[in-house]
Amino acid sequence: MQLRPQICRWHTYTNLDELSRAGAQRILHSAREAIARNGRFSIVLAGGSTPRQVYELMRTGDTDWSRWQVFFGDERCLPVDHPERNSRMAAESWLDHVAIPSALIHPIPAELGPQQAAAAYAKTLASVPEFDLVLLGLGEDGHTASLFPGHAWGAEPDSPPVLAVLDAPKPPPQRVSLSASRLSRAREVMFLVSGAGKRQAVADWQAGKNIPALAITPPGEVDVLLDF
Ligand code: 6PG
């Protein structure tokens, strides 16, 4: 089945500080446009450590937080308050500091275990046909969210929206991830990529090597913010 081609715009910054400032500005711009367009803004947050500085900058964002809806691209199957939870990183760095109604923040219930959490989150996403903005990171092996090389990515259009991941190479092994197909149902996608360790993954990506990041194919362009 021929999938939509991915069209990337590569943006290089001097360091993570500059990348983070640009990332935060892009998020706020996307929110302004979505709220003006249809009165609300749906965003999917990236996990890992790279987005932390962007999230901290978002605390002082000039926006109507009551219009925001927050989802997560993936989550580790750990207790809710575990320090390695993506939801905890986002809360501590950003969401606990702004007035987004808690009912509009949708963490993945990964503490339920991969299969149960994936089924529950698929129901949560059923009411969101298209995200306004999807944020993603990139692993040194080319993974994104919890979609890893050699594993299921759910790239086909009829793939399930949320995948149970049982043997992730990046600990913890049990995770929950939106599928590549579901992550691609977005008006905008922005990758935040920091650290020389990602150079080879980016080179592979730019050479068209079939890595999970390449399977994120929204109708529009994909913006990739790099600090190398
Ligand atoms: C996770 C993330 C994962 C992350 C990349 C990059 O749960 O681990 O979703 O996809 O974005 O591994 O991680 P860093 O930003 O920490 O390099």
Per DSSP, the residues of the chain read -PPPPP-EEEEE-SSHHHHHHHHHHHHHHHHHHHHHHHS-EEEEE--SSTTHHHHHHHTT--S-GGGEEEEESEEESS-TT-TT-HHHHHHHHTGGGS---GGGB----GGG-HHHHHHHHHHHHTT-SSEEEEEE---TTS-BTTB-TTS----STTS-SEEEESS-SSSSS-EEEE-HHHHTSEEEEEEEE-SGGGHHHHHHHHTT---GGGG---SS-EEEEE--
Taking the centre of ligand 1 as the mean of its atom positions, its distance from the CA of residue 11, in whole angstroms, is 19
Q: Whose CA is nearest to atom 11 of ligand 1?
A: 137
Q: What is the pLDDT of residues 31-56, one digit of tens each?
A: 999 999 999 999 999 999 999 999 99
Q: Check residue 3 and give its pLDDT.
A: 74
Q: What is the pLDDT of residues 180-225, one digit of tens each?
A: 999 999 999 999 999 999 999 999 999 999 999 999 999 999 999 9
Q: What is the pLDDT of residues 114-145, one digit of tens each?
A: 999 999 999 999 999 999 999 999 999 999 99
Decide: pTM greater than 0.75.
yes
Domain extent listing, the chain: 8-226
Taking CA atoms, 127 is separated from 25, 71, 123, 180, in Å, by 27, 12, 8, 18
Percent of the chain beyond pLDDT 70? 99
Q: Establish whether the linkage from the previous residue to 172 is cis, with ω within 30° of 0.
A: yes
Average pLDDT on 147-158 reads: 97
The per-residue pLDDT of the chain, averaged, comes to: 97
What is the spatial distance between Cα 28 and Cα 98, in angstroms, rounded to a whole number?
A: 14
Q: Whose CA is nearest to atom 13 of ligand 1?
A: 48
**Is 8-226 CATH 1.10.3210.10?**
no
Asked if residue 86 has its Cβ within 6 Å of ligand 1, the reply is yes
What is the spatial distance between Cα 212 and Cα 158, in angstroms, rounded to a whole number?
A: 17
- pLDDT of 2 > 60? The answer is no
Asked if residue 139 has its Cβ within 6 Å of ligand 1, the reply is yes
Taking the centre of ligand 1 as the mean of its atom positions, its distance from the CA of residue 146, in whole angstroms, is 8
Q: Check residue 117 and give its pLDDT.
A: 98
What is the spatial distance between Cα 191 and Cα 193, in angstroms, rounded to a whole number?
A: 6
Contact 68, 57 (CB under 8 A): no
Q: Check residue 30 and give its pLDDT.
A: 98
C-beta atoms surrounding 204 within 10 Å: 17
